[in-house]
Amino acid sequence: MSVPVGTTLSELRRANSLMQKDVASRLSGYGVNVSTKTIYNWEKGLAQPNADQFLALCDILGVDDIPWRFSGVQKGPYAGLNEAGRKKAKEFTELLLHIDMFRDSPEENIEMPLMLRLYDIPVSAGGGNLLDDSSYEMIKAPRDIQDAVDFALRVSGDSMEPMIRDGQIIWVKKQETLDNGEIGVFTYYGDVYCKELVVDGDAALLRSLNPEYEDIEINQELGFQVIGRVVS
């Protein structure tokens, strides 16, 4: 028996480290304007997306085998493969698109998905983790922000909730300065943080959105540096 569409959409959204408001925001890039409540209703089975909305959702959530994902039908080029096998087959397909002799129209420029680094060492939204020399994997950047980001990091901790959850992937634009009130990624005293930059007169602070955490006062002599701005 197939799993309800809403349940599958919810599972895929969580697997992509997205909040319902993130999905609603990215849908707008496809010309689909819906509220967070609409996303909630879809996931709870209280409403159903139309065809255009559903296809946009599948693209955002990385679904390219709809019958298998939503009904368990074992047909198509991935039939018989498990999740790991399907992922590997997709990687091979993307590699083949870089080779003229295997493309349908080699003389045409094909828009390739932008692959960026996702660092394995999590950025701390609480206590701090080292980023330097950490390993990484390559992941596909969301289409609607791929021109505005340079790399991705996985957050560890709850100090930036409810905006950024524990385990969520954040997309970062490299830049050396941030404006007051912007959310960024910083190195300070050998650790890496995801925080809000707060400038108050001559003082600068790293602030958590979770009120249970105290501000971190910045001492420039302790190696403070802006890595970039959190875009999504």
pTM over 0.75: no
Distance of CA 42 to the CA centre of its chain: 21
Q: Which residue ranges form the domains of the chain, and what is each CATH number? A: 5-80 (1.10.260.40), 115-230 (2.10.109.10)
Asked if residue 147 has pLDDT above 70, the reply is yes
pLDDT bracket for residue 32 (50, 70, 90)? confident
Please tell me which residue, 111 or 142, carries the higher pLDDT value.
142
* Mean pLDDT score of the chain: 81
Separation between Cα atoms, residue 106 and residue 95, nearest integer Å: 14
Residue 1 pLDDT: 44
* Per-residue pLDDT tens over the stretch 193-209: 899 999 988 889 999 99
Q: Residue 26 gets which letter from DSSP?
A: H
Residue 143 pLDDT: 74
As a residue count, the chain comes to 232
Separation between Cα atoms, residue 132 and residue 157, nearest integer Å: 19
* Per-residue pLDDT tens over the stretch 62-82: 887 787 778 777 666 777 777
* Per-residue pLDDT tens over the stretch 163-184: 888 888 888 999 989 999 999 9
Separation between Cα atoms, residue 149 and residue 175, nearest integer Å: 10
Please tell me which residue, 129 or 173, carries the higher pLDDT value.
173
Q: Is 168 exposed, middle or buried (0-12, 13-18, 19+ CB in 10 A)?
A: buried
Residue 98 pLDDT: 67
Give me the mean pLDDT over the 92-101 stretch. 70
* Helices (H), ranges, the chain: 5-15, 20-27, 36-43, 51-60, 66-71, 83-96
